[in-house]
Amino acid sequence: MPTLLWFRRDLRVHDLPALLDAAESDGEVLACYVLDPKLQATSGARRLQYLYDALRDVHEQLDGRLLVTRGRPEQRIPALVKQIGATSVHVSGDFSPFGKRRDAAVREALGEIALEEAGSPYLVSPGRVTKDDGTPYKVFTPFFRSWQSHGWRSPAQTTATSVRWIDPADLDGGVDIPAGDTELEYAAGERAARAAWKRFVKDGLADYEEDRNRPDLDASSRMSAHLKFGTVHPRTLAADLGKGEGAQAYLRELAFRDFYADVLHHWPRSAWWNWNRTFDAIEVDEDAEARKRFELWKAGKTGFPIVDAGMRQLAETGFMHNRVRMITASFLVKDLHLPWQWGARWFLDQLVDGDMASNQHCWQWAAGCGTDAAPYFRVFNPDTQGKKFDPDGVYVRRWVPEYGSADYPAPMVDHKAERAEALRRYEGIR
């Protein structure tokens, strides 16, 4: 009997447990993707472009046998099930608040037809790693130790030929994959992801621990967007990681990704509200003047070179180096005293790799209101950070070519004074 494989954040054919499960039915499989208007309306142009390009990659790998349809999943998936007489629907688990609501609606609409979950976008699915008493971890370091002890499966052995695919040409409801009109800095899709990872393992992994905080060096793997869309699974990456310092530093970053997904799973409110509710009372600026400062920050015209370089890299490419993300976030929250949610929303709009769990909780780390919060008095000095991590000014010169000339603005605030003001506000909620 036929089954349905519904792609979501798993736009690949290798290492796909849901495909493995679909293959066990011994029947033909319809591969589909639902373009949900809700997601399209809330995704930045670059993330949509990546999505469309990744869908084309899957479509090509399946020799044109990916059905792309548009509409609400709770309507489109049951309609496709009815068309082909499917006995089950196979998906990768989605643990985001949006994903859980969507899947609950689809399950209800499917009635007796099973929505079968297999795997997730993570090495260890949210909710699996807990304390001995079954409660979730609130601090990364003990989570990391337990996460390592828990372990994960080897990559699933799947390819484009693992099942017999249904040709969707004669089915109703298909639409063309949108072309999009946004240029991406790096190629999207599974084949591009696998090639990029192979290059990084060969040329960058050994030095990752030493160089990963240097935005002036081409030292990051640039796998974040691929992981966001599931064009590569972290299991595939972890399988190539040995015992070296670079490899272990990279594994720790994958653990952070799992940790923040776990936090969002247990505390869905933390997507847009302070995880530490004490910070609900902290004084932030939201008036017209604050909006002006926000626009200068977005435009990379703050007068602080490392901040401006990061914001311009983001605006031009849809990417920002992780160290610079921390610097720009600290500046927005603690030098400009603006709500972290403003910055988080802008990042989600601009970033190709914009991921709700990682983005929101990294912003809360910078703001001091999340799990593993940096002490609030740890305020990044943008000038010191620039000298330490961009010592020769290579990164700044690339993105702020007018730096050092009369055209470059003076610093928009006095960092020392604003640090003192940030600490004053913090004292008000202690």
Q: Which amino acid is at 426?
A: Y
Question: Is 257 among the annotated ligand-binding positions?
Answer: yes
- Nearest 5 degrees, angle CA 47-CA 162-CA 49? 10
- 222 labeled part of a ligand binding site: yes
- Does 279 belong to an annotated binding site? no
Residue 355, annotated ligand binder?
Answer: yes
Strand order in the sheet with 29-35: 66-70, 29-35, 3-7, 88-91, 114-117
CA distance 427 to 413: 21
Q: 197, 232 in Cβ contact below 8 A?
A: yes
Please tell me whether 408 is known to bind a ligand: no
Residue 414 is assigned to a ligand binding site:
no
260 annotated ligand binder: yes
Q: Does the annotation place 258 within a ligand binding site?
A: yes
**Comparing C-alpha atoms, which of 84, 74, 156 is closest to residue 115?**
74
How would DSSP label each residue in 134-190? SPPPSSHHHHHHHHHHH--PPPP---TTSSPBPPGGGSTTB-PPP------SS--SH
Q: Is 186 annotated as a binding residue?
A: no
255 annotated to a ligand binding site: yes
> What is the rounded distance in angstroms from the CA atom of residue 262 to the CA atom of residue 129?
8
Strand-pair partners of 91:
117
Q: Residue 58 carries which side chain, given as an amino acid letter?
A: V
Q: Annotation-wise, does 21 bind a ligand?
A: no
What stretch of H or E contains 3?
Answer: strand 3-7
Confirm whether residue 93 is marked as ligand binding: no
Q: Is 392 annotated as a binding residue?
A: no
Q: Is 208 annotated as a binding residue?
A: yes
Q: Which two tokens stand for residue 311?
A: 């914001």
Is 259 annotated as a binding-site member? yes
Token output for 226: 């691929």
- 372 labeled part of a ligand binding site: no
Known binding-site residues for FAD equal 208, 220-224, 250, 253-260, 353-355
Known binding-site residues equal 208, 220-224, 250, 253-260, 353-355
